[in-house]
Amino acid sequence: MSKSLICSCEDVTADDVRHAVSRGYCDVESVKRYTGFGTGICQGKSCLSAVAALLEKEKALAPDAVVPFTPRPPLYPTELRLLATAPVDESVPPVGGVPQEVEVFASALRPTEPLPAKAKVVIIGGGIMGLALAYNLARAGETDVVVLERGYLCAGASGRNGGGVRMQWGTPALVELAKRSIDLMKGFARELGINVWLRQGGYLFMARTEAVARKLERNVTLHNRFGVPTRLVTPDAARDIVPGLTMKNCVAASFNPEDGVIFPWPFLWGYAQGCRKKGVRVETYTDVKGFEVSGGQIRKVKTDRGDIACDTVVLAAGAWSPEVAKLVGVQLPNEPHRHEILSTEPLKPFLGPLVSVLDSGLYFSQSMRGEIVGGMGDPKEPAGLNMGSTLRFVSRFAQALMEQLPQVGHVKVLRQWAGCYDVTPDNNPILGRTPGLDNLLQMSGFVGHGFMMAPAVAERMAQWMATGESDELFTRFNLRRFSEGSIEREDMIIG
Ligand SMILES: Cc1cc2nc3c(=O)[nH]c(=O)nc-3n(C[C@H](O)[C@H](O)[C@H](O)COP(=O)(O)OP(=O)(O)OC[C@H]3O[C@@H](n4cnc5c(N)ncnc54)[C@H](O)[C@@H]3O)c2cc1C
């Protein structure tokens, strides 16, 4: 029985599912991610019901909590060159998407045990930011912390991103943070006992215009000042780094061999496990519904499982932060913007760096499992919490990818999905105290780069919270900067 295969595409056994359950990953979405079942060619068609039956039989979940995972297009593995033929009208915004609604979680998934009546720190959002901060607080000795997550771990952008980690930024603050994060990532497996599959194959940024090429050139000087070995490369040298790359319409590129990619999910699990080991409560399927405020302080956080009295609240709800902030009368300037992404069937290793055309936002890399993972922003995408996948995206992406790497036209797309960037007016995060409500700390607005910033930002924020020592990061990126007009825009944004 222990060896009986439940998902033949991804080699998942019944015991793998039991192992996931033993680690607390009991719902279908979490088991899918923790074991990999349903992520292969059949997309769950031959294994979803078997996993559901096993979860019910093992009493891991109540029968009405056994709900299928969100289906991902395309229905069948489909070649990129075929997808590229779907017509796209670039003059109109994208409409719709699959699924049409933002995930609603079955109430049967809500844990039945009571929440603690009080905690020193309540963190709203169990994405990379909330979990990394909770872990770092616990590491600094503060374990009276509760993380509240409305869905499963990985439900937000942290479970939907491309896993790119790069030091190639346009402003000193982000270069420094990313550099520190990548250093911390190197020690993550040792510290947290989980493999995040960090692969430092570099990032190759391509420029189509002289203006963008000049930006890359300016960045090289900045990066080198911080000890980041970025260099400007000619189109020919770029083709040596990525054989088969056409560099069509590109005039220059920059390359930092120390950038790379990671696999996002184990990162979240590693932090969550680290939190729990240190006594921090990480409460999934727990939705924050409101606040009790008096004397200019938040006294209680109200959830669908009851209230928690607290000294400090951290808002780390990613693209949902503005709507949560509104519950306490705080206006944030962030806007959610859908970004779509896809993954292909696995190929033998052929692609070293993550490659990006800065002008169009196209990016693609090869994961450690061999898949091409990539995305491209859509300038017509309206603001809004939309996480649906469109044919328009795969078509635009396939065309742009095949322009640079024509030989992948026959490769099949297995899965596409979407998440929301949490976009601020200057593409920089919102951190630190909230004017007028200073026990509400902000930790949002990470646009398309929160994953790679999280280890360093969380480390600094925990230190700042635990010691009360001043740190210019929390002044520089304070919400106040928008009303005071002291903003420095980050423009190395892709996706
Ligand atoms: C397609 C895509 C590609 C990306 N690629 C990269 C990349 O290559 N590299 C990189 O560094 N970054 C990338 N990003 C950005 C990165 O994923 C985010 O910046 C980062 O994950 C944000 O983390 P977070 O914890 O702030 O937000 P999230 O991960 O979204 O977490 C917020 C959590 O808050 C929860 N929540 C919301 N409302 C409530 C409530 N009322 N009560 C309780 N919980 C609530 C949500 O369910 C969610 O899980 C990408 C993003 C997308 C969408």
Q: Does some domain include residue 93?
A: no
Reported confidence tier of residue 118, pLDDT bands at 50, 70, 90: very high
> Which residue, chain included where needed, has tokens 């260099």?
231
178 assigned to some structural domain: no
Structure tokens at 101: 């609604």
Q: Quote the CA–CA distance of 273 and 194 in Å, as a whole number.
A: 10
312 and 435 belong to one structural domain: yes
Residue 98: CA count within 13 A, CB half-sphere: 14
Q: Tell me how far the alpha carbon of residue 124 lies from the centroid of ligand 1, in angstroms.
A: 12
Is 278 within a domain?
A: yes
Index of the ligand 1 atom closest to the CA of residue 338: 53
Is there an atom of ligand 1 within 6 Å of 271 CB? Answer: no
User: Does residue 467 form part of some domain?
Assistant: yes
- Quote the DSSP letter at residue 102: P
Closest CA to 232 of 255, 249, 203, 258: 255
Ligand 1: does its nearest atom lie under 6 Å from the Cβ of 353? Answer: no
Evaluate whether 484 touches 425 at the Cβ level (below 8 Å): no
The domain that holds 434 is classified in CATH as 3.50.50.60
Which atom of ligand 1 lies closest to the CA of 422? 19
Q: Do 329 and 430 share a domain, yes or no?
A: yes
Ligand 1 atom nearest the C-alpha of 159 is 29
| φ, ψ (nearest 5 deg) of residue 211 | -65, -45
**CATH code of the domain covering residue 38:** 1.10.10.1100
The average confidence (pLDDT) of the chain is 96
In this structure, the dihedral spanned by the alpha carbons of residues 491, 96, 159 and 58, taken in order and rounded to 10 degrees, is 180
Mean pLDDT of the 368-380 span = 96
Same domain, 9 and 155: no
437/321 same-domain check: yes
Instruction: Provide the pLDDT confidence category of residue 1 given band limits of 50, 70 and 90.
Output: low
Coil vs helix vs strand at 293 = strand
For residue 373, the CA-to-ligand 1 centroid distance in Å is 18
How far apart are the CA of 241 and the centre of ligand 1, in A? Answer: 31
Q: From CA 28, how far away is CA 36, in angstroms rounded?
A: 11
Mutate to test the pocket of ligand 1, among 198, 451, 452, 453 (most ligand atoms within 8 A of CB): 451
DSSP 13-67: EHHHHHHHHHTT--SHHHHHHHH-TT-STTTTTTTHHHHHHHHHHTTSS-GGG--
CA atoms of 414 and 154, how far apart (whole Å): 20
- Backbone phi, then psi, for 138, in 5-degree steps? -65, -40
116 and 58 co-located in one domain:
no
132 CB near ligand 1 (under 6 Å): no
Band (2; pLDDT cuts 50, 70, 90): low
Cα 318 to ligand 1 centre (Å): 5
Mean pLDDT over 452-457 rounds to 98
Q: Whose CA is nearest to atom 27 of ligand 1?
A: 318
pLDDT above 60: residue 284: yes
Angle between helices 450-467 and 172-186 (to 10 degrees): 90
- Do residue 155 and residue 50 come from a single domain? no
Residue 27 scores a pLDDT above 80: yes
Q: Are residues 293 and 150 in the same domain?
A: yes
Distance CA 437, CA 150 (A): 23
Count of domains forming the chain: 2
In a domain, 421, yes or no: no
- Does residue 474 sit in the same domain as residue 329? yes
Q: Are residues 137 and 25 part of one domain?
A: no
Q: Residue 374: CB within 6 Å of ligand 1?
A: no
Last residue of a domain, one of 69, 96, 119: 69
Query: Over 70: is that where the pLDDT of 244 sits?
Result: yes
Q: pLDDT grade, residue 485 (50/70/90)?
A: confident
Instruction: Judge if the beta carbon of residue 419 lies within 6 A of ligand 1.
Output: yes
Question: Residue 369: is its pLDDT beyond 70?
Answer: yes
* Cβ(129) – ligand 1 distance below 6 Å: yes
Average pLDDT over residues 249-258: 97
Atom of ligand 1 nearest to the CA of 451: 11
Q: Which atom of ligand 1 is nearest to the CA of 164?
A: 8
Question: Is the shortest distance between the CB of 389 and ligand 1 below 6 Å?
Answer: no
> pLDDT class for 400, splitting at 50, 70, 90?
very high
Residue 20 belongs to what domain range?
Answer: 5-69
Give the rounded percent of residues in the chain with a pLDDT score beyond 70.
100
Q: For the segment 5-19, what is each residue's pLDDT rounded down to a tens digit?
A: 999 999 999 999 999
What is the per-residue pLDDT for 3?
Answer: 76
* 82 vs 494, higher pLDDT: 82
CA atoms lying within 13 Å on the CB side of residue 175: 19
363 lines ligand 1 (CB under 6 A): no
For the chain, counts of helices (H) and of strands (E): 15, 21
Residue 164 has pLDDT above 80, yes or no: yes
User: Nearest CA to 449 among 426, 429, 477?
Assistant: 429
Nearest CA to ligand 1 atom 21: 158
- Binding site membership of 452 for ligand 1 (Cβ less than 6 Å): yes
pLDDT band at 405 (very low <50, low <70, confident <90, very high): very high
Å from CA of 225 to ligand 1 middle: 30
Q: Does residue 13 sit in the same domain as residue 149?
A: no
Domain boundary among 19, 41, 69: 69
Per residue in 36-80, pLDDT (tens digit) is: 999 988 889 889 999 999 999 988 898 899 999 998 999 899 999
> 295-336: per-residue pLDDT in tens?
999 999 999 999 999 999 999 999 999 999 999 999 999 999
Report if residue 412 sits inside a domain.
Answer: no
What is the C-alpha separation between 297 and 434, in angstroms, rounded? Answer: 11
> Residue 350: inside a domain, yes or no?
no
Q: Is the pLDDT of residue 469 over 90?
A: yes
- For 305-327, letters b (16+ CB in 10 Å) and e give bebbebebbbbbbbbbbbebbee
Q: Which atom of ligand 1 is nearest to the CA of 125?
A: 34
| Structural contact between residues 197 and 263, judged by C-beta atoms closer than 8 angstroms | yes
Same domain, 149 and 280: yes
Look at residue 293 and tell me if it is in a domain: yes
Ligand 1 pocket residue status of 127, Cβ below 6 Å: yes
C-alpha 238 to ligand 1 mean position (Å): 32
- pLDDT given at position 327: 98
Q: Indicate yes or no: pTM above 0.95.
A: yes
Q: How far is the CA of 327 from the centre of ligand 1 (A)?
A: 20
Express as a percent the part of the chain with pLDDT over 90: 92
Secondary structure of 202-235 in the HEC alphabet?
A: CEEEEECCHHHHHHHHHHHHHHHHCCCCCEEECH
Q: Ligand 1 pocket check: which of 422, 446, 494 to mutate, most ligand atoms within 8 Å of Cβ?
A: 446
For residues 404 and 486, the model is more confident at 404
Q: Which helix (H) or strand (E) holds 475?
A: helix 473-476
Cβ of 318 closer than 6 Å to ligand 1, yes or no, is yes
Among residues 20, 50, 69, the one where a domain terminates is 69
> CB–CB of 122/448 below 8 Å?
no
Residues 113, 52 within the same domain: no
